Amino acid sequence: MEPDDFRDMQDDTRSRFNGLGIEVSSKNGVLTVVTPMEDTPAAKAGILAGDQILKINGTPTEKLELQQAVNLLRGKPDQKATLTILRPSSKEVKDYVLERAEVKVQSVKNAHLIDKELTGPFKVGYVRVVQFNEPTAEDLAKALDELQKQGMQALILDLRNNPGGLLNSAVDVCAQFLPPNTVVVSTQGRAASQEREYTTSSTAKERPHFPLAVLVNEGSASGAEIVSGALKDLKRALLVGETTFGKGSVQNVLQLPDGSALRFTTAKYYTPGKQVIHGNGVTPTIAVPMTAEQEHALFVSRNNDTKIGDEKTQVRSRDPQMLRAIDALKGVMIYAQENSPKSEAKK
């Protein structure tokens, strides 16, 4: 990894970068879009998770190393790049001309109580985590504190199109929903030294055990899979949506004296239930598929400033995954009410 690449990688974890706004990985030997980041050139152009990049500025990607492809995607603001994209769902091949930009990522977005016309008598919170960087856990904690002040009874955590980020940040996010000292992910490699368990902090603040649903899709990767896999295996949350990307290898970065760096894979991530994330992904509790057209419409609406008053229309018309999550949480709360001690006493 060249010095510039190393600096770019560090920028990614600090919530800013220059480029097109695409997280990519090699999937079955093909350069694949993990997710386009929101409010970036790629998102605005309509590129979707799962799209396959055949060429970058006319250069075929099939023989490129992943880092070589990333180098071609990155560049200075205002520079243009042409991507030849294959969309597997439609078999359509299309050229996208994108202009690179400086992007700042707000990792925790749109925290609010969902429109009561969707949730009925219950107060269901919603918060979206776009990626896991340095301030994510702290920002999420503040958002949850505010929602609890508003009387939140249940929560939808949206990890769709979240490409991951910092491992420690993902673990700290889990700590918002799990008891202290809980193992949320482990690593196993060829050497015993590569075996390690990552736990929530012993001093983590414990919150009320409110019902929780996590939205995931093919664009949920790495840190998003660690969080969703832990919450599912530990029976803390329902997962709603589609099987995640399956990017769960441990990569170490060794900085060299000349400013460059060496990045290498040493182990794989395992969920608390000992499921291998890499190559498999995390399967949802409730599967709700979406077409490419539905995903694009949802992505466009999320990139625009949508008024909360329009939420019920958007969810009902464009977001079957969120609608199903709301229904599932309402069912959990109705069941809890009917089986509470007070309810039993009335029978």
DSSP string, 286-333: EE----HHHHHHHHHHHHS---GGGHHHHHHHH-HHHHHHHHHHHHHH
Mean pLDDT of 139-152: 98
The pLDDT value given to residue 89: 87
Mean pLDDT of 196-224: 94
Reported as a pLDDT band with limits 50, 70 and 90, residue 174 is very high
Provide the annotated active-site residues: 222, 233, 247
The pLDDT value given to residue 249: 79
Strand 30-36 to 101-104 pairing: unpaired
Report whether 135 contacts 13 (CB < 8 A). no
Report whether 32 contacts 22 (CB < 8 A). no
pTM over 0.75? The answer is: yes
**Which of 102, 103, 97, 105 lies closest to 77 in space, CA to CA?**
102
Distance between CA atoms of residues 139 and 165, nearest Å: 15
| Tokens matching residue 200 | 């929530």
Q: For residue range 215-239, list pLDDT tens digits in order.
A: 999 999 999 999 999 999 999 999 9
- What are the residue boundaries of the structural domains of the chain, listed by start? 3-104, 108-338
Distance between CA atoms of residues 171 and 55, nearest Å: 36
The angle formed by the CA atoms of residues 50, 129 and 115, to the nearest 5 degrees, is: 105
Q: Which residue has the higher pLDDT, 255 or 103?
A: 103
Which amino acid type is present at position 216?
V
Mean pLDDT of 83-92: 94
- For the cut 60, the answer to whether the pLDDT of residue 4 exceeds it is no
Report whether 282 contacts 26 (CB < 8 A). no
Q: Return the CATH number of 108-338, one of 2.60.40.10, 3.90.226.10, 3.20.20.240, 3.90.850.10.
A: 3.90.226.10
Q: Which residue has the higher pLDDT, 219 or 345?
A: 219
Residue 77 DSSP label: T
Distance between CA atoms of residues 71 and 53, nearest Å: 14
- For the cut 50, the answer to whether the pLDDT of residue 5 exceeds it is no
**Which of 232, 114, 228, 81 lies closest to 161 in space, CA to CA?**
228
Reported as a pLDDT band with limits 50, 70 and 90, residue 9 is very low
Q: How would DSSP label each residue in 199-235?
A: E--TTPPP-----EEEEE-TT--THHHHHHHHHHHTT
Report whether 215 contacts 231 (CB < 8 A). no
Phi/psi of residue 128, nearest 5 degrees: -115, 130
| Tokens matching residue 22 | 């695409």
Distance between CA atoms of residues 97 and 84, nearest Å: 9
Report whether 110 contacts 128 (CB < 8 A). yes
Q: For residue range 270-325, list pLDDT tens digits in order.
A: 999 999 999 999 999 999 999 888 887 777 776 655 444 578 888 888 899 999 99
Report whether 108 contacts 130 (CB < 8 A). yes
Cα dihedral 266→245→168→159 (10° resolution): 180
Instruction: Round the average pLDDT of the chain to a whole number and report it.
Output: 87
Q: Which residue has the higher pLDDT, 14 or 160?
A: 160
| Tokens matching residue 303 | 């990139």
Q: Which residue has the higher pLDDT, 283 or 164?
A: 283
Start-to-end CA span in the chain (Å): 68
The pLDDT value given to residue 11: 47
Report whether 65 contacts 51 (CB < 8 A). no
181's CB contacts (< 8 A; 6+ apart) are 199, 200, 202
Mean pLDDT of 153-173: 95
- For the cut 80, the answer to whether the pLDDT of residue 113 exceeds it is yes
Distance between CA atoms of residues 113 and 192, nearest Å: 46
- For the cut 80, the answer to whether the pLDDT of residue 12 exceeds it is no
- Topology (CATH level 3) of domain 3-104: Pdz3 Domain (2.30.42)
Crossing angle of helices 311-318 and 320-338, in 10° steps, is 110
Adjacent-strand bridge partners of 304:
none
